[in-house]
């Protein structure tokens, strides 16, 4: 297998590619601090259980949206099947804690690893590109859902799985409560955002940006594009599996049609594109905005089939601001400062 050696071969293009990353260092640290402060505001202001419940679901969606954007932006792969990683992570953590007695806070990262290992089954799809890759990953998600339904001896099948531990109490903080779950998810989203920043600044990120410009050219100079894309797929699956696992322990019930629901594939795409999937803050902010809009506004307008409103909002956003909500806000700020 060819080694990933990017620095010598890309040295002639290095300054053009490395300079934006260097300028992004303070921005990356400021992003993490800003997100953390904003996310802690509901707790500091004493938000009620209903609002915290909505924000918990929004943060789970934000984590999956961030994982999807990482794969689409850095990996150059559009996925319609992140529900597969979400469901595998959910079932893996529930079964590890219930059947093997693994502590929940250990079973969650192990579930992320299980989701990453499950993504290895999708590596043949890397030979495909564009819509063909997206449809292949969608097919894998359906395969995992069918396997979870048929393996009733392990997953409970269609009857579901509900006898497994919830989140524990650590240092006096009940992670199973609304406030504890919210704080845990805030920390996990922040860590995933920092991991995204680290990958984008690294030599791997440099090579991936070069692959996006011309995959054939990078192969000529010795960059193993298949290996790099495999790493991005596994990292995205790992992140998605973490949030699937936490969601399982928060709601306390699993069944295949929920854990592998197409919602976990479609909503992250809508949220990432709405917020601006080429940024890091965009998928997070987009997920929170889209989910709160869907639950508070769209449901009030159309009780059944309120996702239609989301489709209309997304179409308007794509036409009005192709770079997403964050891109629109930045443009408004530039215009105001001009």
Cβ atoms of 240 and 84 within 8 Å: the answer is no
User: Residue 277 pLDDT > 80, yes or no?
Assistant: yes
The DSSP secondary-structure symbol of 158 reads: G
Q: Is the pLDDT of residue 9 over 90?
A: no
Give the largest CA-CA distance in the chain.
65
Q: Return the bridge partners of 254, or none.
A: 161
285: its two tokens: 């902010």
Q: Is the pLDDT of residue 21 over 60?
A: no
Average pLDDT over residues 7-32: 43
d(CA 74, CA 78) in angstroms, rounded, equals 11
Residues 89 and 242 sit within 8 Å (Cβ to Cβ): yes
pLDDT higher at 188 or 4? 188
Tell me the two tokens of residue 253.
């019930």
pLDDT(17) > 80: no
> Helix (H, G, I), strand (E, B), or coil: what is residue 169?
strand
What does the pLDDT look like over 220-267, one tens digit per residue?
A: 777 788 888 899 999 999 999 999 999 999 999 999 999 999 899 999
**Confidence at residue 207, expressed as pLDDT on a 0 to 100 scale:** 83
Q: Which residue has the tokens 């059944």?
A: 304
Pairing of strands 169-170, 173-174: antiparallel
Q: pLDDT by residue (tens digit) across 180-195?
A: 999 999 999 989 999 9
- pLDDT at position 16: 38
Contact 324, 286 (CB under 8 A): yes
Give me 12's structure tokens.
Answer: 């002639």
Q: What is the pTM of this model?
A: 0.85
């Amino acid at each position: 297998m060819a080694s990933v050696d990017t620095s010598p071969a890309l040295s002639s293009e290095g300054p053009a590619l490395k300079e934006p990353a260097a300028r992004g260092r303070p921005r990356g640290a400021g992003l993490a601090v800003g997100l953390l402060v904003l996310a802690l505001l509901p707790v500091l202001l004493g938000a009620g259980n209903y609002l915290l419940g909505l924000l918990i679901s929004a943060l789970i969606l934000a984590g999956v949206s961030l994982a999807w954007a990482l794969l689409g932006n850095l990996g150059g792969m559009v996925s319609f099947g992140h529900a597969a990683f979400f469901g595998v992570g959910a079932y893996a953590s529930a079964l590890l804690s219930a059947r093997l007695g693994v502590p929940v806070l250990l079973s969650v990262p192990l579930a992320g690893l299980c989701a990453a290992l499950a993504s290895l089954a999708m590596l043949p799809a890397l030979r495909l590109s564009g819509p063909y890759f997206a449809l292949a990953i969608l097919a894998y998600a359906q395969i995992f859902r069918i396997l979870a339904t048929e393996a009733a001896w392990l997953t409970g099948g269609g009857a579901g799985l509900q006898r497994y531990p919830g989140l524990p109490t650590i240092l006096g903080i009940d992670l199973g409560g609304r406030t504890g779950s919210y704080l845990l998810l805030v920390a996990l989203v922040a860590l995933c955002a920092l991991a995204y920043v680290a990958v984008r600044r690294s030599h791997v990120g440099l090579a991936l940006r070069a692959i996006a410009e011309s995959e054939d050219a990078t192969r000529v100079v010795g960059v193993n594009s298949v290996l790099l894309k495999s790493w991005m797929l596994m990292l995205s699956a790992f992140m998605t599996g973490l949030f699937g696992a936490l969601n399982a322990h928060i709601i306390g019930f699993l069944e295949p049609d929920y854990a592998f629901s197409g919602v976990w594939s479609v909503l992250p795409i809508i949220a990432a594109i709405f917020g601006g999937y080429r940024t890091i803050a965009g998928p997070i902010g987009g997920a929170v905005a889209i989910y709160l809009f869907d639950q508070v506004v769209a449901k009030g307008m159309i009780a059944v089939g309120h996702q239609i409103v989301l489709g209309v909002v997304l179409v308007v956003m794509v036409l009005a601001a192709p770079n997403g909500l964050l891109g629109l806000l930045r443009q408004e700020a530039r215009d105001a400062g001009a």
